[in-house]
């Protein structure tokens, strides 16, 4: 299991990504690895980090996670995925979650997360349940990473949503 976790970590870093679930590698295991490294934040505007509530998250492992949404508050941001490389879309997710799981030592762990970390957890646990972000996306927002950078980079999500609604009406 240690070898698999190390391989998943390496694969996640090389992509680069902030999470990877075993099913993305063709493995039928309820296992995911997560880490949002500080170096991934260096080219992101401070206003975007604040809007997304994004902070570094240390490396950790989730075995058999159970997800519970906390409250009714939702947040919508662009997401990408190593399984759908080169694309992104707006996805609405719960702003806060609680995850009960086992860690890499088999110890029970309860994680309470909000903001971007909660989004990462939901995204990876979705993989374990056979769901991709494209199953949850705002369809009209689906775009290439190049177009995302050209047309939407640095804009608040509220402005992007308004522009998308104008284009579809």
124 is catalytic: yes
Q: What is the secondary structure of 43-70 as a DSSP string?
A: TS-HHHHHHHT---EEEEEEEEEEEEE-
Distance CA 78, CA 157 (A): 8
Distance CA 20, CA 36 (A): 11
DSSP-assigned beta bridge partners for residue 6: none
Distance CA 10, CA 114 (A): 26
User: Choosing from 51, 124, 159, 163, which is the catalytic residue?
Assistant: 124
Distance CA 82, CA 134 (A): 12
Q: Map residue 169 onto helix, strand or coil.
A: coil
Please give the positions annotated as active site. 124
């Amino acid at each position: 299991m240690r070898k698999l976790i190390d391989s998943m970590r390496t694969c996640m870093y090389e992509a680069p990504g902030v999470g990877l679930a075993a099913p993305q590698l063709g493995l039928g295991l309820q296992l995911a690895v997560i880490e949002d490294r500080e170096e991934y934040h260096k080219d992101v505007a401070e206003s975007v980090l604040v809007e997304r509530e994004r902070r570094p998250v240390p490396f950790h492992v989730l075995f058999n996670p159970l997800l519970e949404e906390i409250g009714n508050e939702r947040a919508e941001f662009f997401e990408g995925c190593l399984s759908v490389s080169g694309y992104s879309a707006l996805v609405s997710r719960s702003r806060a979650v609680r995850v009960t799981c086992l860690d890499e030592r088999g110890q029970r762990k309860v994680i309470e997360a909000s903001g971007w970390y909660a989004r990462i957890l939901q995204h990876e646990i979705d993989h374990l349940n056979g769901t991709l972000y494209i199953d949850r996306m705002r369809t009209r927002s689906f775009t290439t990473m190049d177009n995302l950078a050209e047309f939407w980079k640095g804009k608040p999500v509220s402005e992007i949503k308004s522009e998308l609604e104008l284009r579809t009406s």
